[in-house]
């Protein structure tokens, strides 16, 4: 029991007041971010909570005088990786939330086992950290040995070259896999057509018509899509009738029928201009 | 008395000078640095409108204040008092948070920029810089990469398609161009052998990096326009395609904050480019000991260089049309990133050779010239690309009246043929009618 107390005593000796304040502000924030990430309903909110955790960790590194590491954490994790997460989530859709259907067989069992394993690892590491780890000496970020970019680079390319290369091989494999999975050949079925191929297909008759649908005709009184195009003989071009507002002529007919039956409503008191029909009648009389 | 005492004190380096700043001085610097962004924004907007106006043969804003120069001040007063319109579909928390996220990192970025050398403020020796970090360059980059969250979240939280598209474009754009920008900065860090902004400026006493590291400078210049979403790379807010892009649904003060963030970002990347490539606050062609590089004068040189770059932004906007999105991505990933990588390999090779052995610049240039000549000769061996037959007529088979591919166009029309036959038959008749025949020919 003596050892932990001793370790804590030495640790307290090296922790300054400012560092302690920063820790007790940032650490709850980081934990809150992690919890929020788990419990948030919306996928985008979840990702943003994770961003909070990443940012807080970066600032904690800064407080520990590991400035290069801290800023790299912010740039790489917060700036690039989480941004990619967000990108994918946004593409997936605004309201996509967790589905409770088990997609992979035995997924939950594996997750539980691995989760317990991770918890065990964390517990072991934490116990060791409280028991028999001597606190490191404060770093001097201006020297290469003190966590500066030069010192880190030297270590990565000498002592840790093999793990570094392994990581890069893993990343390259992942990138290649992503490319292979998302690749669709232009020639194959479902492949995207180039602009030229599309034009040729249109003229070959694979589509409804080669040109856009006609707009309002020359004699139309408005450029609204509700106004049909007129053919040279004055009749309505059927192609130009929008499927969405195809009932305009029906609506017109209905209005005329009501007018004949004398069911036209009285002019609206709030209307700035009288309805078209009454104005025309006024002209006639 | 104080100047005498100051001369007696031994020279301290930048970090030591900044470390013993009293609290009031730090607060003063913080306030000034926070004010630089908004004040320059207000000036930049009216400057941009007037400069673009001149480029388009019109006066630009000319009503408010002398010469119209108070126009953006009037706009700044007007904007907060406008009505706030919040869409029903908006994710309200993020909708409110997004402009703040866009502005705050932008304002932080200027903290690491050295505006001038050692000066004395109210008798206190200090450097015109808020903080000198061993990784000051990364501070600016981190600010840019966090600031883009504001734009992306604004696009998403508005809950309508155009802003979402703008936000997505912005995310892709900043990620791709940050890589190119980082590669450009690596060159500078290799030459200055430091990532701290102050040391990078000091390292340029022998020569500014914009001509020593020309490819890095060009890559940085292009990617800084892409990073700040400015024309010709203003795809996230392309008004011809996306209405207003990510800020379509924003109004009033929140819109003003996006405006502020955009212009402060322009100021930051320009000041950063000045620091990295244009010698920071130093006057050209004189050493650091010259009177031109002492005291408060260098602040003028610094802002002159920054304004030169800012004018570049305005000039680009007045000159170039907007890129198409795929062209923009192609430029970033297929041109800037590979060129940046190759350039880094070249300069690290040069540095390694120079550090290891006693090799003169002349020898490096000769060997480099030979290598380039060999590469040029090797490119002659590359087979020429086959040009596809552009004139190939596509086969058609629809219901449309298209002439057949083997259509034979006759030399003459039936009418002409008939007329010719008539003329021939009339030529056989007596000579008296010849003039008439000629007349009919002229008719045809």
Percent of chain A with pLDDT over 70: 67
Distance separating alpha carbons of residues B203 and B209, to the nearest angstrom: 9
Please tell me the predicted confidence (pLDDT) of residue A87. 76
CB–CB contact B146 A141 (8 Å)? no
Mean pLDDT check: name the lowest of A98-102, A186-190, B13-17, B21-25: A98-102
* Average pLDDT across chain A, whole number: 75
Nearest to A77 by CA among A57, A99, A97: A57
Q: How far apart are CA B159 and CA B74, in angstroms?
A: 31
Distance from CA of B79 to the nearest CA of A (A): 29
Out of B142, B156, B172, closest to residue A75 by CB = B142
B117 vs B345: CA distance, rounded Å: 33
Q: Span A116-131, mean pLDDT?
A: 89
pLDDT attached to residue B348: 86
Q: Residues of A with CB below 8 A from B402's CB?
A: 203
Residue B238: CB atoms within 10 A of its CB come to 22
Among A90, A92, A93, A150, the strongest candidate for a mutation testing the B interface, having the largest count of B CBs within 10 A, is A90
pLDDT at B152: 85
- Per-residue pLDDT, averaged over A59-63, amounts to 87
Cβ of A72 and B153 within 8 Å? no
Q: Is the CB of B156 less than 8 angstroms away from the CB of A205?
A: no
Closest Cβ opposite residue B135 in set A51, A149, A200? A149
Give residue B229's region: left, alpha or beta (phi > 0; psi -120 to 50).
left
Q: Do A205 and B399 touch (CB under 8 A)?
A: yes
Contacts of B175 in chain A (CB under 8 A): 80, 83-84
Does A175 contact B at CB distance below 8 Å?
Answer: no
Identify the closest residue of chain B to A151 by CA–CA distance. Answer: B194
The listed range with the strongest mean pLDDT (A33-42, A90-99, A181-190) is A33-42
User: In the structure, what pLDDT confidence band is assigned to residue A115 with cuts at 50, 70 and 90?
Assistant: very high
In this prediction, residues A149-170 reach a mean pLDDT of: 86
Is residue A262 left, alpha or beta, with left meaning phi > 0 and alpha meaning psi from -120 to 50?
left
Closest in A58, A71, A203 to B398, CB measured: A203
How far apart, in whole angstroms, are the C-alpha atoms of residue B441 and residue B420?
A: 9
Q: Are B268 and B106 in contact (CB under 8 A)?
A: yes
Write the burial class of residue A151 (CB in 10 Å: 0-12 exposed, 13-18 middle, 19+ buried): middle
B187 touches chain A (CB under 8 A): no
Name which of B226, B312, B326, B307 is nearest B267 in CA terms. B307
Range of lowest pLDDT (A132-146, A185-199, B17-31): A132-146
Tell me, what's the pLDDT at A30? 92
| A23 pLDDT above the threshold of 50 | yes
Q: What's the token pair of residue A282?
A: 């006024």
How many Å separate Cα B136 from the centre of its chain?
22
Cβ contact B305:B282 at 8 Å: no
A67 CB within 8 Å of a chain B CB: yes
The tokens describing A69, both together, are 């590491």
pLDDT in the model for residue A245: 64
The tally of CA atoms less than 13 A away on the side-chain side of residue A118 is: 6
pLDDT at site B429? 59
Q: Does A51 touch chain B (CB under 8 A)?
A: yes
Query: pLDDT for A73-89, tens place per residue?
Result: 888 888 778 887 777 77
Please report the domains of chain A, with CATH numbers, ordered by start residue. 1-95+121-137 (1.20.120.1200), 139-168 (no CATH), 217-263 (no CATH)
Q: What is the pLDDT of residue A261?
A: 83
Token couple for A195: 């602009």
Q: Do B134 and A74 touch (CB under 8 A)?
A: no
Euclidean distance between CA atoms A86 and A225, whole angstroms: 38
pLDDT tens digit sequence for A215-268: 655 556 666 766 777 777 777 777 776 666 655 666 677 777 778 887 776 655
Question: Nearest CA of chain B to the CA of A226: how many Å?
Answer: 23
Q: According to the model, what pLDDT value does residue A158 have?
A: 86
Residue (of B10, B48, B385, B396) closest to B234 by Cα position: B48
Q: Measured between CB atoms, does A23 come within 8 Å of chain B?
A: no
User: Which residue is it, tokens 């030529």?
Assistant: B427
- Do residues B267 and B40 touch, judged by C-beta distance below 8 A? yes
* Residue of A87, A103, A100, A73 lying closest to A44 (CA atoms): A87
Angstrom distances, CA of residue A237 to CA of A212, A223, B327, B343: 14, 15, 40, 62
Read off the tokens for A211: 């040109």
- Angle CA A147–A151–A152, to nearest 5: 70
Q: Cis bond leading into B232, ω under 30°?
A: yes
- Using the predicted structure, report yes or no on whether residue A119 has a pLDDT greater than 90: yes
Distances from the Cα of A233 to the Cα of A218, A221, A223, angstroms: 12, 17, 20
Up-side HSE of residue B329: CA atoms within 13 Å toward CB?
Answer: 8
Tokens 């009738």 belong to which residue? A241
The CA-atom distances, in angstroms, between A225 and each of A207, A234, A276, B242, B431 are 22, 18, 20, 21, 69
Sequence-distant (6+) residues with CB within 8 A of A19 are A63, A64
Quote the pLDDT of residue A271.
47
pLDDT the model gives residue B308: 92
* Under-50 pLDDT residues of chain B: 1-8, 432-444
- pLDDT at A219 (0 to 100): 59
Number of H helices, E strands in chain A: 11, 0
Q: Which of A47, A48, A74, A46 minimizes the C-alpha distance to A60? A: A74
Q: Residue A65 and residue A147: Cα distance in Å, rounded?
A: 8
Q: Got the DSSP string for B46-66?
A: HHHHHHHHHHTTS--S-SSSG
Gap from A158 CA to chain B (nearest CA, Å): 17
Q: Residue B285 — left, alpha, or beta (φ > 0 → left; ψ -120 to 50 → alpha)?
A: left
């Amino acid at each position: 029991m003596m050892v932990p107390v001793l370790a804590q005593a030495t640790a307290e000796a090296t922790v300054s007041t400012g560092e302690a304040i920063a820790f007790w502000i940032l650490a709850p924030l980081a934990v809150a971010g992690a919890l929020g990430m788990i419990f948030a309903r919306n996928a985008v909110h979840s990702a943003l909570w994770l961003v909070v955790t990443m940012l807080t960790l970066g600032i904690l590194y800064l407080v520990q005088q590991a400035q290069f590491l801290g800023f790299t954490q912010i740039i790489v994790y917060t700036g690039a990786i989480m941004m990619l997460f967000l990108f994918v989530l946004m593409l997936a859709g605004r309201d996509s939330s967790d589905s409770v259907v088990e997609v992979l067989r035995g997924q939950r069992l594996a997750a539980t086992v691995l989760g317990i394993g991770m918890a065990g690892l964390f517990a072991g590491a934490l116990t060791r950290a409280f028991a028999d780890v001597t606190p490191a000496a404060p770093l001097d970020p201006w020297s290469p040995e003190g966590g500066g970019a030069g010192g880190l680079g030297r270590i990565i390319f000498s002592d840790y070259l093999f793990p570094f290369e392994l990581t890069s091989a893993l990343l390259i494999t992942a990138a290649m896999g992503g490319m292979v999975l998302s690749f669709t050949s232009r020639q194959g079925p479902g492949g995207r057509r180039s602009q030229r191929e599309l034009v040729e297909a249109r003229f070959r008759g694979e589509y409804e018509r080669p040109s856009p649908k006609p707009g309002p005709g020359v004699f139309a009184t408005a450029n609204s899509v509700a106004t049909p195009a007129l053919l040279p003989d004055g009749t309505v071009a059927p192609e130009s009738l929008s499927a969405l507002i195809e009932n305009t002529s029906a609506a017109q007919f209905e209005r005329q029928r009501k007018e004949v039956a004398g069911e036209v409503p009285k002019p609206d008191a709030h209307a700035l201009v009288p309805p078209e029909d009454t104005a025309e009648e006024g002209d006639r009389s | 008395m104080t100047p005498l005492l100051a001369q007696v004190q031994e020279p301290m380096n930048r970090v030591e000078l900044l470390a013993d700043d009293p609290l009031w001085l730090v607060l003063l610097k913080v306030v000034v640095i926070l004010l630089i962004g908004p004040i320059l924004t207000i000036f930049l907007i009216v400057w941009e409108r007037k400069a673009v106006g001149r480029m388009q043969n019109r006066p630009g804003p000319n009503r408010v204040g002398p010469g119209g120069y108070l126009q953006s001040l009037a706009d700044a007063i007007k904007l907060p008092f406008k009505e706030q319109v919040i869409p029903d579909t908006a994710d309200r928390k993020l909708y409110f948070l997004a402009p703040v996220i866009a502005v705050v990192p932008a304002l932080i970025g200027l903290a690491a920029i050295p505006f001038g050398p050692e000066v004395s403020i109210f008798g206190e020796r200090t450097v015109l810089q808020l903080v000198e970090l061993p990784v000051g360059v990364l501070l600016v980059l981190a600010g840019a990469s966090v600031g883009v969250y504001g734009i992306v979240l604004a696009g998403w939280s508005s809950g309508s398609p155009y802003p979402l598209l703008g936000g997505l474009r912005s995310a892709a754009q900043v990620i791709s161009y940050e890589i190119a920008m980082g590669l450009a900065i690596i060159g500078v860090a290799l030459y200055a052998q430091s990532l701290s902004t102050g040391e990078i400026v000091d390292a340029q006493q022998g020569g500014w990096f914009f001509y020593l590291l020309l490819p890095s400078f060009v890559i940085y210049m292009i990617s800084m326009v892409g990073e700040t979403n400015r024309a010709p790379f203003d795809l996230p807010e392309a008004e011809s395609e996306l209405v207003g892009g990510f800020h379509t649904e924003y109004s009033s003060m929140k819109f003003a904050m996006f405006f502020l963030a955009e212009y402060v970002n322009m100021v930051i990347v320009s000041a950063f480019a000045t620091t990295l490539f244009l010698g920071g606050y130093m006057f050209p062609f004189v050493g650091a000991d010259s009177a031109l590089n002492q005291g408060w004068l260098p602040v003028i040189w610094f802002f002159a260089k920054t304004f030169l770059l800012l004018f570049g932004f305005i000039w680009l906007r007045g000159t170039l049309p907007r890129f198409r999105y795929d062209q923009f991505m192609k430029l970033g990933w297929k041109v800037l990133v590979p060129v940046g990588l190759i350039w880094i390999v070249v300069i690290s090779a040069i540095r390694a050779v120079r550090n290891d052995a006693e090799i003169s610049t002349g020898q490096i240039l000769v060997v480099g010239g030979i290598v380039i000549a060999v590469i040029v000769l090797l490119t002659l061996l590359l087979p020429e690309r086959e040009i596809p037959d552009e004139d190939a007529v596509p086969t058609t088979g629809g219901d449309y009246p298209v002439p057949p591919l083997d259509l034979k166009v006759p030399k003459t029309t039936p009418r002409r043929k008939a007329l010719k036959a008539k003329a021939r038959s009339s030529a056989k008749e007596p000579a008296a009618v010849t003039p008439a025949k000629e007349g009919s020919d002229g008719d045809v």
